Amino acid sequence: MQRWLPATTLVVVGLILVVNFVVINPTLATVAAGAQELIVLLAAAAALTGAIALVLRHWHAVVARGPDRVGSWAVLVGVAIMLVAGLYPGSPGVTSPAVRWLVAALLGPLVASIFALLFVFLLRAVGRGMALRSRDTTLMLAAAAVVVVLLLPLRGALGDWLAAAGTWSLAVPIGAVFRGLLIGIAIATAVYAARLLLSLGPRDE
Q: pLDDT per residue over 21-46, tens digit each?
A: 888 888 888 888 888 888 889 888 99
Residue 4: which H helix or E strand, with range? helix 4-22
| 79 plus 154 within the same structural domain | no
Confidence of residue 132 (pLDDT cuts 50, 70, 90): confident
What pLDDT, on a 0 to 100 scale, did the predictor assign at position 199?
66
Higher pLDDT, 96 or 201: 96
| 81 plus 154 within the same structural domain | no
Mean pLDDT of 107-116: 85
CA atoms of 19 and 189, how far apart (whole Å): 20
Q: Is residue 116 part of a domain?
A: no
Q: Is residue 2 part of a domain?
A: yes
Confidence of residue 53 (pLDDT cuts 50, 70, 90): very high
Query: Could you tell me which residues come within 8 angstroms of residue 195 by beta carbon, excluding any fewer than 6 positions away?
Result: 201
Model confidence at 2: pLDDT above 70: no
Q: Is residue 27 part of a domain?
A: yes
In contact, 31 and 16? CB cutoff 8 Å? yes
Query: Which of the residue ranges 42-46, 147-151, 174-178 would you say has the lowest mean pLDDT?
Result: 147-151
Mean pLDDT of 141-154: 80
Model confidence at 135: pLDDT above 60: yes
Domain termination site, one of 87, 108, 127:
87
What pLDDT, on a 0 to 100 scale, did the predictor assign at position 7?
67
Domain termination site, one of 69, 87, 105:
87
pTM above 0.75, yes or no: no
CA atoms of 50 and 56, how far apart (whole Å): 10
pLDDT tens, 83-110? 888 887 877 877 888 888 888 888 888 8
Q: Is residue 121 part of a domain?
A: no
What pLDDT, on a 0 to 100 scale, did the predictor assign at position 205?
55
Domain termination site, one of 52, 87, 122:
87
Mean pLDDT of the chain: 81
Q: Residue 83 sits in which domain range? A: 1-87
- In order, the DSSP letters of 35-77 are HHHHHHHHHHHHHHHHHHHHHHHHHHHHHTT-TTHHHHHHHHH
In contact, 71 and 79? CB cutoff 8 Å? no
What pLDDT, on a 0 to 100 scale, did the predictor assign at position 52?
92
What pLDDT, on a 0 to 100 scale, did the predictor assign at position 106?
82
Count: domains in the chain: 2
